[in-house]
Amino acid sequence: KGIDREFYLLFSIFDENDSWYLNKNIEAFTGDPSKVDENDADFKESNKMHAVNGYLFGNLPGLAMCKDDRVSWHLIGLGSHYDMHGVHFQGNTIDLRGMTRDGLALFPHLSGTALMQPDRVGTFKVVCRTFDHFVGGMKHLYEVSSCRNTTQAQQQHGAMRVYYIAAEEVEWDYASNKSSAPKIYNVSSNEERILRKTMVLFLGQAIESLFKFGKAALITSISCFNLGPLLHAEVGDSVLIVFKNKASRPYSVSAHGIEEVAALGKIVLSVSGEINTYRWNVPARSGPGKTDPNCITWVYYSTVNFVK
């Protein structure tokens, strides 16, 4: 009742090594069946199909809806202990038992229902973010169309929050305290002292240059170098990210849960030494749900190479 579209998604790894037709498939689809080693690890892995409703690599048909439709996603996990899935919906948020999320954890022989009311027109991804499953093809597309004259786009009426972020490469010393370790490092105490001092100076210069670059920017946290600074916004706000790539590889800045305003619908890639601006809007669907606390968090990261 009150639902315009319903979709059922079964996430499971189908192991065709256990198929009764394995030998027939080897004879039919390999050039020389005598050279096929059924116990080879790579061969066994190639027969594991990381599928949603039996489809891989974006071939699942029928995931189409209209903007502002009330959509119910019924998600099912099936299989062995390998079938632990992190299901993620790109582009829109979901209502999960009164909590605002854009994904959920799905375990074998369990199911869940997520409600969505898409407010953006376009083609978006629904994927399993478990690394091996994602690479193996557990990723598909759902399409949101403008089928009727629905409500106008929500206007952002809040503040414009500007943040300055830089990406820098830091060589980290994972064994800084070697006093209790065996003498196998072949590093003199003077060399070790210089290494530590150099690293501290480098980090200090990185923080200093970031503040110079940021000018009046609000930098709320820089204590953890594998996590970026904590950014604050409220429903109705817009966030402007001024990003400087001081690393040696291309990076971007992309966030979950919010609306990304990108040029021509594409995420802007920042090459080494380049400065780019990214804008995010925070619509009502990005805010806390009925059973959420007053504040919720969304992660942001580079999407240039998700696997890495």
Identify whether the C-beta of residue 30 lies closer than 8 Å to the C-beta of residue 70. no
Q: Is the pLDDT of residue 191 over 50?
A: no
Q: Tens digit of pLDDT for each residue in 199-208?
A: 332 322 333 3
Q: What are the structural domains of the chain?
A: 5-145 (2.60.40.420), 160-301 (2.60.40.420)
Read off the pLDDT of each residue in 79-88 and give the average, rounded to a whole number: 90
Place 197 in a pLDDT band, splitting at 50, 70 and 90.
very low
pLDDT of residue 167: 82
Q: Is the pLDDT of residue 224 over 80?
A: no
Q: Tens digit of pLDDT for each residue in 43-80?
A: 888 889 999 999 999 999 999 999 989 999 999 999 88
Read off the pLDDT of each residue in 203-214 and give the average, rounded to a whole number: 34
- The whole-chain average pLDDT of the chain stands at 79
Written as six digits, the tokens of 302 are: 């580079």
User: Which residue reads 């206007």 in tokens?
Assistant: 155
Residue 128 annotated to the active site: yes
Distances (CA, A) of 89 to 74, 132, 238: 13, 18, 22
What is the pTM assigned to this prediction?
A: 0.77
pLDDT of residue 215: 31
Place 107 in a pLDDT band, splitting at 50, 70 and 90.
very high
Pairing of strands 64-66, 94-96: unpaired
Q: Is the pLDDT of residue 134 over 50?
A: yes
Q: Which of 66, 128, 147, 224 is catalytic?
A: 128
Instruction: Count CA atoms within 13 Å of residue 149 on its CB side.
Output: 0
